[in-house]
């Protein structure tokens, strides 16, 4: 009899441990039979969890209590109730779960899923339409918008602008081929202009405008730029297309001159465009600044009363001489060049004395050559008197 009870308990335990299908996501309600006591003389009082309870998915151990022959409560039989895992059906495995091809299908349970439109698309997930990023006209300055998935591209070709949305001005003047030769490129918003400066002016990059050539410069037509006046020439006006040569009795030894300087006393220049003045030869004088020649005084220290002396002028590279029919005569030698930097800009009349070989000074005040022998002595005396009065 004892062995029959053990076999029956084992059969019940095997039966109780079979897998119950779930009735919900929480598990299954299981009704089971109370197993027999471990001893024939014992009596099973009850088990926990009780039959008819909700058993979760997985294995749950059921423990029972029983009374022995003496009425004591002792541990009874135990067994396991198993609830099988819920079988999940992947709805998204077939045809994307019925979602749009531009949507994402997500399984949420048995025969349950959600459809969500991908980024760049709008809709309920079953129907998804691409969002038009060009609908807001993001491209500026007539740029052409190309719609992409969750993006856009602006084509700025031919607009004069660059950047993601064609908002940055292109400096077309950075291209060397923007304007033809002897013109100047001026960048504008979305374009450029080729500026041709009028003769006498040149383009200024800082002010982006044509400015007049300054004094001391002239407009060089070969490159349409302002250039310094060369030595021997000057310019005292703006916007000039040429430089003027220094006049007789003047010189300019520096470029970009705004005026010419007068030759100093005892110096001369007998042409235009001189860069230096020449010294008078020994025995000759230039009594005023700005002289175009040197003259020989009427008398020299070697002259004697009654002698007939004549004056002569000198020029660069030519010798001047004077002859006399009396006791003495004076002769001049070739003049030598001297680069004289004078600060005077105007012709100033000034009387100067020239030194003779004996140290005597003869005042040269408009002394002129006299060639009439009959009245020679009288004229000489008059001129000497006038010279003394003017001292």
Contact 103, 115 (CB under 8 A): yes
- Ordered by where they begin, the domains of the chain are 2-83 (no CATH), 91-131 (2.10.25.10), 134-170 (2.10.25.10), 174-226 (no CATH), 275-391 (no CATH)
Residues in contact with 140: Cβ distance below 8 Å, sequence separation at least 6, in sequence order: 154, 161, 165, 166, 167
pLDDT of residue 299: 61
Please tell me the distance from the alpha carbon of residue 155 to that of residue 206, in angstroms, as a whole number: 32
pLDDT of residue 238: 94
Please tell me the distance from the alpha carbon of residue 328 to that of residue 198, in angstroms, as a whole number: 66
Q: Which residue has the tokens 């491209």?
A: 139
pLDDT of residue 140: 95
pLDDT of residue 283: 86
Q: What one-character DSSP code corresponds to residue 331?
A: B
Distance of CA 328 to the CA centre of its chain: 81
Please tell me the distance from the alpha carbon of residue 128 to that of residue 131, in angstroms, as a whole number: 9
Please tell me the distance from the alpha carbon of residue 163 to that of residue 180, in angstroms, as a whole number: 28
Structure tokens at 303: 């002259």
Write out the DSSP string of 306-328. T--B---EEBTTB--B--BSSS-
Q: What is the mean pLDDT of each run of 10 residues along the chain (391 residues)?
A: 37 55 87 90 90 92 91 91 83 90 88 91 95 95 94 93 93 78 80 86 83 93 89 94 94 95 94 93 90 82 40 43 30 35 35 32 35 58 76 61
Give the residues across from 60 on adjacent strands: 81
pLDDT of residue 253: 94
């Amino acid at each position: 009899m004892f062995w029959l009870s053990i076999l029956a308990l084992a059969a019940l335990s095997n039966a109780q441990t079979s897998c119950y299908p779930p009735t919900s996501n929480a598990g299954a309600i299981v009704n089971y039979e109370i197993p027999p006591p471990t001893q024939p003389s014992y009596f099973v009082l009850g088990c926990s969890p009780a039959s008819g309870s909700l058993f979760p998915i997985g294995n749950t151990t059921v423990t029972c209590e029983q009374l022995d022959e003496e009425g004591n409560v002792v541990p009874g039989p135990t067994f396991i109730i198993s609830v099988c895992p819920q079988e999940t059906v992947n709805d998204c495995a077939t045809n994307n779960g019925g979602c749009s091809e531009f949507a994402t299908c997500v399984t949420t349970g048995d025969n349950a899923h959600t459809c969500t439109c991908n980024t760049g698309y709008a809709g309920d997930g079953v129907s998804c339409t691409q969002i038009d990023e060009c609908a807001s006209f993001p491209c500026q300055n007539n740029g052409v918008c190309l719609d992409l998935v969750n993006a856009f591209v602006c084509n700025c070709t031919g607009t004069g602008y660059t950047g993601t949305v064609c908002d940055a001005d292109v400096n077309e003047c950075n291209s060397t081929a923007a304007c033809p030769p002897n013109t100047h490129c001026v960048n504008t918003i979305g374009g450029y202009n080729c500026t041709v400066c009028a003769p006498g002016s040149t383009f200024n990059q800082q002010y982006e405008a044509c400015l007049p050539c300054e004094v001391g410069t002239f407009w060089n037509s070969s490159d349409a730029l302002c250039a310094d006046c060369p030595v021997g020439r000057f310019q005292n006006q703006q916007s000039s297309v040429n430089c003027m040569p220094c006049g007789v009795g003047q010189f300019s030894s520096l470029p970009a001159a705004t005026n010419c300087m007068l030759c100093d006393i005892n110096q001369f220049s007998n042409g235009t465009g001189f860069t230096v003045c020449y010294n008078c030869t020994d025995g000759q004088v230039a009594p005023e600044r700005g002289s175009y020649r040197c003259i020989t005084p009427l008398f020299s220290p070697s002259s004697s009363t009654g002698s007939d002396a004549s004056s002569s002028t000198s020029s660069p590279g030519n010798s001047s001489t004077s002859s006399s029919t009396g006791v003495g005569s004076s002769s001049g030698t070739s003049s030598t060049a001297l680069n004289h930097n004078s600060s005077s800009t105007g012709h100033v009349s000034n009387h100067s004395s020239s030194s003779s070989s004996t140290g005597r000074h003869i005042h040269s005040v408009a002394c002129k050559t006299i060639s009439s022998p009959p009245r020679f002595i009288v004229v000489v005396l008059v001129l000497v008197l006038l010279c003394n009065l003017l001292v």
